[in-house]
Chains A and B, each alone.
Chain A
Amino acid sequence: MGQSLLQMNTIFISIIIEALPFIVLGVLISAIIQMFVTEEMIAKVMPANRFLSIAFGTGIGALFPACECGIVPITERLVRKNVPLYAAIAFMLTGPIINPVVIFSTFVAFGDSWKMALLRCGLAIFTAVLTAIAISYLFNENQLREFVDQKLHHHGHHHEEQPLRFREKITGVIDHAIDEFFSVGKFLVFGGLISSAMQTFFRTSTLLQLGHTKATAILIMMLLAFIMSICSEADAFIASSFNGMFGTPAILAFLVFGAMVDIKNLLMMLHSFKKKFVFSMIGLIILFVFTGTLIL
């Protein structure tokens, strides 16, 4: 037992050490960009056509290397600034995946291989575009929760009215980065503990039985991704440690679904959007990720 605990700790620490630089890089870049790029800029350049705007929303995530929880408030403000709901959702779903930090970390985590990184991007775009198109036909209004409007008035957005001085912006960036580091870090630790424990204490045969068919393996990994709530900048390292226990489709489902929906960002989405909308969207995402990985 003692030996296994030490082994679990070794796996756990190696996941943390590998993932941490990407988290720090991610929180710094996202803090910088959120300070200097405003939602107005995006709202202004958003095309009017339904499909063009979805394509635009999908692509622009690269500009916001935020993880899945950081992106929800941005999405909310985009919708508030009259960006069409479906385009904002396309942005929300791809933002945490189609960005340089996440792509690089996925590349490193899977032993310098582009395969997983590219598959991850491909499936993310597939899922986001289909979900956004479905939403554009299902929901007409903006689906924001009304009382949020009032809350925001108190919360204040005063840097938009009176621009911060550069020095204040810099300290703002660092403060923001540290805040985010702590809120994201605990989920990484939590996820790292679960995956290292599973690898140390579960017998392979148990896991192989669980993941016996492709479909159950995919569903298990999606559920794990939802529970672990690991930031998309770091989740590739957790996912790669499951490599060998589960096949590529299941790992891919973990990487894509986890970056779009997890416990943490579910709470945030419910805070911003109407319940019915949030759950129908999650239903769509589950459907598309599942079928997408199944046909792979």
Chain B
Amino acid sequence: MLRFIVLFGFAYFFMKLHATGDISKYINMKYSYLSFSMIFAMGFLSLYQLVKWVKAGNKGQENSHVHHHHHGHLHEQDENTWYKKVFTYGMILIPIVTGIFLPVATLNSTVVKAKGFHFSMIDNDKDQYANHQILRPNSSLYYDQNQYAEMESSDLKKYSKLSHIVLDDNHYFHGLETIYNYPGSFIGKKVTIEGFVYRTKDIKPNQLFVLRFGIIHCIADAGVYGMLVDFPDDMKGLKENTWIEVEGQLDTTYYTPFKENIPYLKVTSYKKINEPKDPYVYRQYN
């Protein structure tokens, strides 16, 4: 019976993920057919297990776990004592329970930091209360919820009206944060961003990150913000830390290290620029 519950639980969980579309928050959608087929595979196995359990019950057997195959698997001994049973089923039930009942969290900088971006300023900071963000600016910590929601919607209105978003000093934080918060509203839009070139190990040769050091509030939360950009050609020749300005069309892509869809630019044109006098960009409060 326990086995039926577990198998059915997984079938239900996968179905729920696909029905609500939450699945895209967890996995690369290119392989969604794998998890989609799990609904049926798990459904079938749970049905099989249920039938078997009912049949065994009819025959008056208490233990539905009948071994009539003989490959000498030690697995069969795994569940022969109550505490091993508790361990096995308890363990396997964890993802079903937490997956169904806990909300999906989006990764914040503390996790992102562990994912291949390394800057001495951030890696060497021993202050555990410092909040250094990477790539995606998140100022929600500095507002109360209502205030933040209000600002978010006014920013969204402001930027989604524009046909060409230029992320210059004045708009870097607000524009970027809005794009990261609502990538869907900006797909296909023309965006211009400037910053220095940075590469992580996991991007393709024609991709790079355009980043700027930025300060949202105070130096303890200095971070590195920017976007993934995708060139038509191999860009291996462009050295890291070169300052460039790129213009491109916004789209989103699944970025494996973050396990998240992130916005990126399909570059239409770019040019090298000089490093600005103040490489930091500051958040505008208005």
Contact = CB atoms under 8 A, between A and B. Distances in A.
B92 A185 contact: yes
Majority secondary structure, A binding face = helix
B73 A179 contact: yes
B27 interface: yes
B257 A12 contact: no
Contacts of A10: 25-26, 104-107, 259
A102 to B, nearest CB: 15
Interface stretch (A40-48, A202-210, A281-289): A202-210
Given A3-B105, A271-B74, A20 B10 contact: yes
A168 interface: yes
Interface in A1-17: 3-4, 6-7, 9-14, 16-17
B144 to A, nearest CB: 16
B244 interface: no
B82 interface: no
A27 B38 CA distance: 13
B102 interface: yes
A12 B73 contact: no
A294 to B, nearest CB: 19
A244 B201 contact: yes
B98 A69 contact: no
Contacts of A11: 107, 111, 259
Contacts of B67: 175
Contacts of A244: 114-116, 200-202, 257
B116 A243 contact: yes
Interface in B100-142: 102-108, 110-111, 113-116, 118, 123-124, 126, 128
Given A7-B108, A174-B45, A205-B124, A14 B94 contact: no
A189 B91 contact: yes
A220 interface: no
Contact of A16 (B3, B48, B99): B99
Contacts of B113: 204
Number of chain B interface residues as a range: 35 or more
Interface string B1-44: 00100110010001001000001011110110011011001100
B110 A4 contact: yes
Nearest to B96: A16
A207 B124 CA distance: 13
Given A189-B91, A205-B123, A9 B111 contact: no
A168 B37 CA distance: 25
B72 A199 contact: no
Contact of A9 (B30, B52, B105): B105
A22 B26 CA distance: 16
A157 interface: yes
Interface in A75-91: 76-77
A111 B128 CA distance: 32
A183 B95 contact: no
B92 A204 contact: no
Nearest to B107: A7
A100 B66 CA distance: 31
B72 A24 contact: no
A241 B115 CA distance: 8
Nearest to A265: B74
Contacts of B103: 6
B95 A192 contact: yes
B70 interface: yes
B75 interface: yes
Contacts of B42: 24
Interface in A186-221: 186, 189-190, 192-193, 199-200, 202-205, 207-208
19 contacts: A6-B102, A9-B98, A10-B25, A10-B26, A16-B99, A17-B35, A17-B99, A18-B28, A20-B38, A21-B34, A21-B37, A155-B70, A159-B69, A175-B68, A180-B73, A189-B91, A193-B94, A200-B111, A243-B116
Given A13-B98, A73-B74, A175-B68, 6 more contacts: A4-B110, A9-B98, A73-B73, A182-B92, A205-B126, A208-B123
Q: Which 8 A-B pairs have the closest CB atoms?
A: A244-B116, A6-B105, A186-B91, A183-B75, A21-B34, A14-B26, A111-B256, A172-B69
